[in-house]
Amino acid sequence: MDKSRVEVIEGIELMPFKFSLDNRGTFEKFHPMHFFSGALDTIALSKNPILGTIRGLHFQTEPFAEEKLVTCIQGSIFDVAVDLRPNSKTLGKWTSYNLNSENHMQVYLPKGIAHGFQALQPNTIVHYTLSAAYNPDSSFSIDPLGELGIDWPISEILVSQQDSQGLSVSNASQKYRDSLS
């Protein structure tokens, strides 16, 4: 196991979403609002037609730091979370989950967690519920191919130039820490 990977990061919750199935198909509910500390701001979809696409590792600083509820509604993702919270015992560590349209799992991420994923199937769609609006001045990325040593499952990758030129983990955690004061 990579020394910066951990099994559990406090505050992150992996849980099944509720669904019912009958002869018409399914009805799915994947917004347990009781997890969010405040009001919800945004619902977003990420459509990823190309196998191996990496998005992230993204985070926003205060006052636009986000709580997120992430659900893969089509396809499959290798989902990654990095702890940037200054007083956390897992600061600078990362964990991962497999989310897909078959396992009916979703992950809640508190503020101070950078998030990213890799599409494990073509035409993967990821649904986000977010507690804060996007703010370009508060939005940052950590290089997903950098120092964390994440073993992305698909070796043929597509990553944006902005993400590949993202911050180091120490610079990211410093930006987040500075925004708290």
With a threshold of 0.75, does the pTM exceed it?
yes
CA-CA distances (angstroms) from residue 153 to 49, 57, 87, 127? 17, 16, 31, 21
Supply 31's token pair.
């917004």
Active site positions, annotated: 58, 128
The mean of the pLDDT values for the chain is 91
**Averaged over 45-54, what is the pLDDT?**
96
Residue 36 — very low, low, confident or very high, per pLDDT cuts 50/70/90?
low
**Segment among 31-40, 97-106, 133-142 with least mean pLDDT:** 31-40
The proportion of the chain whose per-residue pLDDT surpasses 70, expressed as a percent, equals 92
With H, G, I as helix, E, B as strand and everything else as coil, classify residue 99: strand
Domain covering 13-179 assigned CATH 2.60.120.10 in the classification: yes
Read off the pLDDT of each residue in 93-116 and give the average, rounded to a whole number. Answer: 95
Across residues 36-51, what is the average pLDDT? Answer: 84
The pLDDT value recorded for residue 1 is: 45
